[in-house]
Amino acid sequence: MIPTISHWIGQEQAIRRFKVALEASWNDGTKLPHMLFYGCPGTGKTMLAHLAAKEMGVKIHERLAQVMNFPGTLNGLLMQAQDKDVIFLDEVHELVHPAQTVLYRAMEGQQISLRSNVNDTYNMPIKDVTIIGATTDEYHLLSPLRQRFKVVIPFSLYDVTSLAKIIDQRARLIGIDIHQDIAIQIAIRSRGTPRFAIRLLESCQRYARSKGEEIVTMQHFEETVDMDCIDELGLTLDDQRIINFLTIQPSKPVRLFTLEAATGIHRRTIQEVIEPFLIRMGLIERTPQGRVITEQGIRHVESTTQVETVSKATS
The set of residues, in sequence order, having a beta carbon less than 8 Å from that of 34 and lying 6+ positions away, is: 107, 130, 131, 132, 148, 149, 150, 151
Annotated catalytic residue within 43, 45, 84, 191: 45
What pLDDT sits at residue 315? 53
Annotated catalytic residue within 43, 46, 217, 224: 46
Q: pLDDT tens-digit profile of 256-290?
A: 999 999 999 999 999 988 999 999 999 999 999 99
Q: Are strands 111-115 and 121-125 parallel, antiparallel or unpaired?
A: antiparallel
Interval 163-183 mean pLDDT: 91
What pLDDT sits at residue 306? 55
Segments forming the whole domain that contains residue 193: 160-227
What pLDDT sits at residue 202? 95
Cα gap 108→152, rounded to integer Å? 16
The domain boundary, picked from 209, 227, 245, lies at 227
Q: pLDDT tens-digit profile of 182-215?
A: 999 999 999 999 999 999 999 999 999 999 999 9
Question: Is 177 considered catalytic here?
Answer: no
Annotated catalytic residue within 31, 105, 127, 195: 195
Q: pLDDT tens-digit profile of 18-39?
A: 999 999 999 999 999 999 999 9
Give the confidence band of 161 by pLDDT, cuts at 50, 70, 90.
Answer: very high
What pLDDT sits at residue 118? 65
Q: What angle do CA 186, 271, 282 make, to 5 degrees?
A: 55
What pLDDT sits at residue 3? 83
In a domain? residue 74: yes
In a domain? residue 129: yes
Question: Is 45 considered catalytic here?
Answer: yes
Could you tell me if 175 and 68 lie in one domain? no
- Percentage of the chain lying above the pLDDT 70 cut: 96
Q: pLDDT tens-digit profile of 107-149?
A: 999 998 887 776 778 889 999 999 999 999 898 999 999 999 9
Could you tell me if 49 and 142 lie in one domain? yes
Question: Is 238 considered catalytic here?
Answer: no
Could you tell me if 22 and 107 lie in one domain? yes
Could you tell me if 213 and 254 lie in one domain? no
Annotated catalytic residue within 101, 136, 236, 304: 136
Q: pTM, whole model, 2 decimals?
A: 0.87
Could you tell me if 150 and 196 lie in one domain? no
For 31, list phi and psi in degrees, rounded to 5: -70, 165
What pLDDT sits at residue 69? 82
Query: Which helix H or strand E contains 216, and what residues bound it?
Result: strand 215-216
* CA distances for 35 relative to 23, 200, 272, 293, angstroms: 15, 31, 25, 39
Annotated catalytic residue within 43, 84, 85, 90: 90
What pLDDT sits at residue 183? 95
What pLDDT sits at residue 310? 42
Mean per-residue pLDDT over the chain, rounded: 92
Q: How many domains does the chain have?
A: 3
Examine the pLDDT at 311 and tell me if it is beyond 70. no
CATH number at residue 213: 1.10.8.60
Q: pLDDT tens-digit profile of 243-261?
A: 999 999 998 999 999 999 9
